[in-house]
Amino acid sequence: MAQFESQNPNYDAEVRHRFSQQPYNLSIGAEVVDVKPGRVEIVVPSRADLIQHNGYFHGGLIAGLADIAGGFAGWSLVAEDQGMLTIEYKLNIVAPGMGDQLRAVGEVVSRGRSIIVTRIDVFGMRNSEPVLCATSLQTLKVMKLPPELLSNAA
């Protein structure tokens, strides 16, 4: 992984605060388990309402989790008055999402002034071993946050 430096000294608290403000993240039971500059790891425990008809995690959940992990990996690098929007991502599901949790690891690949590119791997579990179930590339647009969204999270 490339080494990046955050423009926000309170990046960890900011990522966790912004994550907790998004109802979708909370509705799926997602939790941020690790934050480093340019890298975020998120887990989602298995629940009946997240599983599709064959007993695997739903593909929409896998895609959403990848988008979230990549977005917050990017957010970990920007200034306090900035946020971002996903402007494109491509996802390949390479194996069924199975097990007692999904784990997504988002990492920044490239950081420009206004564009950030991330790579995200999503893992399920098989026999207590992580199994790659999806990989994704994402493009994020860095933007100034409107004044009403600025916070003092840290």
Q: Is the pLDDT of residue 152 over 80?
A: no
Provide the pLDDT for residue 151.
61
Check residue 62 and give left, alpha or beta (phi > 0: left; psi -120 to 50: alpha).
alpha
Query: Using 50, 70 and 90 to split pLDDT, how confident is the model at 154?
Result: very low
Provide the pLDDT for residue 147.
85
pLDDT digit string (tens) for 128-138? 899 999 999 99
pLDDT digit string (tens) for 80-131? 999 999 999 999 999 999 999 999 999 999 999 999 999 999 999 999 899 9
- In the chain, the domains with their CATH numbers are 11-144 (3.10.129.10)
Q: Are 92 and 137 in contact (CB under 8 A)?
A: no
Q: Are 66 and 48 in contact (CB under 8 A)?
A: no
Q: Is the pLDDT of residue 53 over 60?
A: yes
- Express as a percent the part of the chain with pLDDT over 70: 97
The pTM of the full predicted model, rounded to 2 decimals, is 0.94
